[in-house]
Amino acid sequence: MARDKKKRGGSAPKSTKEEVKEEVNEEVNEEVENGENGHENGESTPKQATKQKEEENPRSATGVLSSQYLSRDLKLYNFSLTLNGIVLIQDTELEFNWGRRYGLLGLNGTGKSTLLTTLAKREVPIPDHFHIYYLDKEVEASEKTAFDAVVEDLELERAELERESEELAATSGGNESERLYDIYSALDDMEPELAAKRAGEILHGLGFSKEMQTKKTKDFSGGWRMRIALAKALFVKPSMLLLDEPTNHLDLEACVWLEEYLKTYTRILVLISHSQDFLNNVCTNIIHLNAKKMIYYGKL
């Protein structure tokens, strides 16, 4: 009868040793389910950390700055670039000279767009004074007009340039540097009346009538917002302008205007385009990405 009571009343009480063992098993299972397994608060194994790093930034770039810090030119040696562990460019020279317009050529997958992203995100040593602008997306759909979207950063840029000019003037040799001359030239372009006229001309060249310039960006299609983004990039006139297929959303008339405009770009332009004619007419130099090297050609 005692045995029947034991069956009807449930299992016998567990020993302390069994309870501890069960609690430990539950904790281990919980950790495995939560992906912790002994690496709490963001900790991970070296393998997990490497994988996470690649997911956050799949690019890895190295190089040694060889140009002078305040130089208008950018030169690096031993430049290498990998994407998701695949070597795209290896131990080559990267060189961009002021006043030159570079066209990037290479088969798909050789690293043309990855190179532009690496430069834009300053993943190699680039002096702070280099203002780099990478056109990679359309402007946000908002209540701003097309014109306002182009000139919205004008005051911020002016304040930054004025601060830099003061710092340069206070250093030895700063008053005679090319960079200071470039700052003063840029500040002249930012005079309100001149800036407004220049922004309007750029938008007009890209196909915007006066009425369209006062239209809200949210009322434009993605293709037209990309044109606004291109107008903003041209208006800013950065030290280094990076353009990846800028003619994709343009009609023939706007393409012709852009070609003529870029032919007069006096700073550093790095350009990717599927149009050989566009590259030939705009660029002063061609960079061929081939066999993990950057091969430079100058036009006669």
Asked if residue 295 is part of any domain, the answer here is no
Asked if residue 105 is part of any domain, the answer here is no
Cβ–Cβ under 8 Å, residues 165 and 185? no
Rounded to whole angstroms, how far apart are CA atoms 291 and 31? Answer: 47
Asked if residue 29 is part of any domain, the answer here is yes
Asked if residue 20 is part of any domain, the answer here is yes
Q: Phi and psi dihedrals of 197, rounded to 5?
A: -65, -45
Q: Which domain holds residue 21?
A: 14-49
Asked if residue 156 is part of any domain, the answer here is no
Asked if residue 78 is part of any domain, the answer here is no
Rounded to whole angstroms, how far apart are CA atoms 92 and 81? Answer: 10
Query: pLDDT 10s per residue in the chain (300 long)?
Result: 444 444 444 444 454 445 544 554 554 344 434 444 444 444 434 444 444 444 578 999 999 999 988 889 999 999 999 999 999 999 999 999 999 999 999 999 999 999 999 999 999 999 988 999 999 899 999 999 999 999 988 878 878 888 888 877 777 666 667 777 788 887 877 776 788 899 999 999 999 999 999 999 999 999 999 999 999 999 988 999 999 999 998 999 999 999 999 999 999 999 999 999 999 999 999 999 999 999 999 864
Report how many domains make up the chain.
1
Could you tell me the pTM of the whole model? Answer: 0.77
Angle, alpha carbons 222-225-226 (nearest 5°)? 85
Give how far Cα 110 sits from Cα of 84, 90, 104, 146, 295, Å. 13, 11, 10, 35, 13
Asked if residue 97 is part of any domain, the answer here is no
Asked if residue 139 is part of any domain, the answer here is no
